[in-house]
Chain A
Amino acid sequence: MELIYILLISIFAAALSLLPMGRRFAPGVTILGSLAVFLLSLRVALATTTGGELTAVRDYLSCDSFSALILVLVAFVGLTAAIFSWGYIATTVEATDDRKIRRYYNRFNLFLLSMLAVPIFCQLALVWIAVELTTLLSVFLVSFESTPQALEAAWKYAVLTCMGASLALLGILILCWGLSLSSQAAFTWEGLISAAPQMPPALLYTAFFFILIGFGTKAGLVPMHTWLPDAHSQAPSPICAILSGIETTAVLYCIMRLLPMFQGSAASYARMWFVIFGLISAGVAAFLLIQAKDYKRLFAFSTVEHMGIILVAAGLGGYAAHFGAMLQIVSHAVTKSFCFFAAGATLMATGTRNIGAIRGLIRISPLAGIFLMVGGLGIAGAPPFAVFLSEFSILKAGIMNGQYLVIGLLALFIVVAFFGIMHHINRMVFGSPDILLIDEQTEQTLFGRSIIPGRNILPVTCIIALIVTIIPVILFGIYLPEQLYQLIHHAASSLGSK
């Protein structure tokens, strides 16, 4: 039942946030709603830590451990983003534009609803619709600031991901065809896994490719990633946190669910393609990272890189690598959302997105500087943060398996990205405090209208969100709570290998 409640709460919150009852009403409703959703999702996750399944409507709404993990992460990032949005939107939108604020929260709730639906639905066609809805409901969030660049980013986002979704639709239809030919199981993830050995292999392979490329467009795999840096940098920071932190991961979840359908010799074929795409994504992103001029774009490229790492880990095969992949999903979600919150704080403090324009952030706004530094270190994979632990476990699993070439390349890309990120962050954070005027970017002046550069005080809610998010970032690098460990353990074994 919790699953249905989760969906209903989001719908209510979306509807309620349209009511014109003062500036505090809509964000308050949103935060309360996402808090309730988070608590419910924790309950769902606890119910599945023993390896079982929580079913609300048979064959339509159900969660096993992997989807419960994604659900919890979606709810967590949604909660923190809602908290952050309160302060952020209140500061960035003019005081008289109440309607815009209400529309933001309305769309935010709807977007969260669609993202919650992705792990909750288990009937494949509905999962596809949920993934598509995440695109459509977030397009106007990406273009929220209505600058030409934001519109361009939103356009590319909408068009490219819709293209990918249509390709994935054909793949899903082919899977349905194969299912109807070979067994009477329902068209859910488990039904497909049980029916996969009887399906003609040609169907499986073709559907695999279509879904990999189609959903891969939405997950940001290279070479279909061109929309991602734009969309994830032009959106308002809390939305970027959700998009980068958990939305691409949710789509990657759909792709990774295909893996258990390949058993035996076919499995190595599927894993090989995962590794190839993952390595290409990680590599291209790591090198593109170096020349980023905008720090939100920097983090967006880092998202592409991490998607690649997760896919490689899934493709390496074996329980240890899959455990590493799940751990990476968790650590990436919390760390990336933290990074974008820090980026939002920086933006509020300085008024510009340009890396070269900011110097000595730590003196301009100490809080923003510290958070940005921690975020940069965290996402680059420095110890003792969570990402380090997960990347290390992936590399270790690969070396134990004997896949030295893959691990070597992966380690190289991680190191390149590390240096790239740290170079840029260091330039921004340390030095004498200065905000330069870079004239070829027009977004600076536009943003400068509503934010006073040099304003040093971050809204309280933003700080709260940042602190709430930093806890798991540091915590999971040192210690994994027992329940979480069990959840990840079951999720990893659901990927189907021992």
Chain B
Amino acid sequence: MNGQDLLLPLLTKLNALAGGVFLISAFGLVGIRQMLTCLRIYVFQSLLLAISAVILGYYHASIHLFVVAALTITTKVFIIPWVLRQAVGYESYAKREISQVINIPTSLLIAVSIAILSYYIASPLLTATGAGVFEKVNLPIGMASLLIGAYTVTVRGEAVPQLLGILAMENGAFFAGISIAPNLPLIAELAAAFYVLITVLVIGLLAMRIHKMIAKTAVGEMMALREE
């Protein structure tokens, strides 16, 4: 306990640092043009999630969170990029530019306002429950990443960035979750980790099919089924 007290400010600051960079990587997903860099940013974000999980696990002295961190690293840092590469193919990766509906500076501004909005949503929650330091960082930033990921999905026109947007949403939800619900049963965490894997598999395979069918993965251009 004594060592814990000394360590606590340092842990708090490290967690806050991880949170800040997490938020920046969420912005990066919106603002980066190249697909490969987007993927790397996503991997980096997952790494930050694992770091935060380790810090929180140490603080709560809970083995669950360490397992969550380990799962996150194995699935999101190693397996998912490999799966995506197999499923979507190197030509899709070598593309430099991602088409999007709204240009990047405007998207960045919208992402910033989304971050402010999520802080605004989270603050009554934090005051109502008398939240600790960790929730104060993780909940708003996780929510912001969730909403920014949702925005990314609507704006981007390519298959893989849309998938990365969804994965970023899940990252955000987990980032908030490890702080506000750290004692979720282990089976739920395990299942959630596999769920992420299955999501990537399914959507990756679907993207591969689309690519085979129409020789490109620009799903933003698929507009055959619209109401006239």
Contact = CB atoms under 8 A, between A and B. Distances in A.
Given A159-B153, A162-B199, A166-B149, A152 B129 contact: no
A153 B206 contact: no
A179 to B, nearest CB: 9
A265 interface: no
Contacts of B177: 169-170, 173, 176
A163 B203 CA distance: 13
A155 B129 contact: no
A152 B225 contact: yes
Interface stretch (A75-83, A200-208, A316-324): A200-208
Contact of A148 (B143, B176, B222): B222
Interface in B65-81: none
Interface in A159-177: 159, 162-163, 166-167, 169-170, 173-174, 176-177
Contact of A155 (B121, B159, B188): B159
A125 B176 CA distance: 15
A126 B192 CA distance: 9
B125 interface: yes
A206 B121 contact: yes
B16 interface: no
Contact of B195 (A129, A181, A206): A129
B183 interface: yes
Contact of B188 (A125, A143, A178, A230): A125
B219 A203 contact: no
A183 interface: no
Contacts of A173: 173, 176-177, 180-181, 184
B33 interface: no
Contacts of B124: 202, 206
Interface in A256-306: 288, 291
B98 interface: no
B144 to A, nearest CB: 11
Q: Which of A133, A143, A166, A291 has the most CB of B within 10 A?
A: A166
B105 interface: no
A236 B199 CA distance: 22
Interface string B161-189: 01100100110110011001101110110
Task: Kindly name the residue among A149, A162, A200 whose own CB sees the greatest number of chain B CB atoms within 10 A.
Answer: A162
Contact of B146 (A152, A166, A177, A200): A166
B210 interface: yes
Contacts of B32: none
B142 interface: yes
Interface residues of B, number: 48
A123 interface: yes
Most buried by A among B142, B146, B183, B184: B184
B116 interface: no
B206 A151 contact: yes
A125 B129 contact: no
B153 A163 contact: yes
B36 interface: no
A203 B135 CA distance: 14
B202 A158 contact: yes
A407 to B, nearest CB: 28
B128 A202 contact: yes
Contacts of A146: 209, 213
B224 interface: yes
B198 interface: yes
Contact of A176 (B149, B184, B202): B184
A151 B209 contact: yes
B94 interface: no
Contacts of B195: 129, 132-133, 136
B143 A170 contact: yes
A139 interface: yes
A458 B191 CA distance: 43
Interface string A130-151: 0011001001100100101101
A123 B185 contact: yes
Contacts of A241: none
Nearest to A177: B180
B150 interface: yes
A132 to B, nearest CB: 6
B101 interface: no
A282 B183 CA distance: 40
Contacts of B166: 159, 162-163, 166
A176 B181 contact: yes
A203 B129 contact: yes
B227 interface: yes
Contact of B129 (A162, A176, A200): A200
Nearest to A164: B150
Interface string A224-241: 000001100010000000
The residue among A181, A201, A288 with the most chain B CB atoms within 10 A of its own CB is A181
B219 A177 contact: no
A474 B150 CA distance: 44
B214 interface: yes
A234 B225 CA distance: 10
A432 interface: no
Interface string B187-228: 110011001001100110111011001100001001011011
A136 B206 contact: no
Nearest to B122: A206
B206 A167 contact: no
B214 A167 contact: no
Nearest to B182: A180
25 contacts: A125-B188, A139-B203, A139-B206, A143-B206, A146-B209, A148-B222, A151-B209, A152-B222, A152-B224, A152-B225, A153-B225, A155-B159, A155-B222, A159-B203, A166-B172, A166-B173, A173-B176, A176-B177, A177-B180, A178-B129, A187-B184, A200-B129, A201-B128, A202-B128, A229-B225
Interface of A: 123, 125-126, 129, 132-133, 136, 139-140, 143, 146, 148-149, 151-155, 158-159, 162-163, 166-167, 169-170, 173-174, 176-178, 180-181, 187, 200-203, 206, 229-230, 234, 288, 291
Given A206-B124, A206-B125, 14 more contacts: A123-B185, A125-B192, A132-B199, A139-B203, A155-B210, A158-B203, A159-B166, A166-B169, A173-B181, A200-B125, A202-B124, A203-B129, A206-B121, A291-B227
Give 3 nearest A-B pairs by CB, closest first.
A125-B188, A200-B128, A166-B169
Interface of B: 121, 124-125, 128-129, 142-143, 146, 149-150, 153, 159, 162-163, 166, 169-170, 172-173, 176-177, 180-181, 183-185, 187-188, 191-192, 195, 198-199, 202-203, 205-207, 209-210, 213-214, 219, 222, 224-225, 227-228
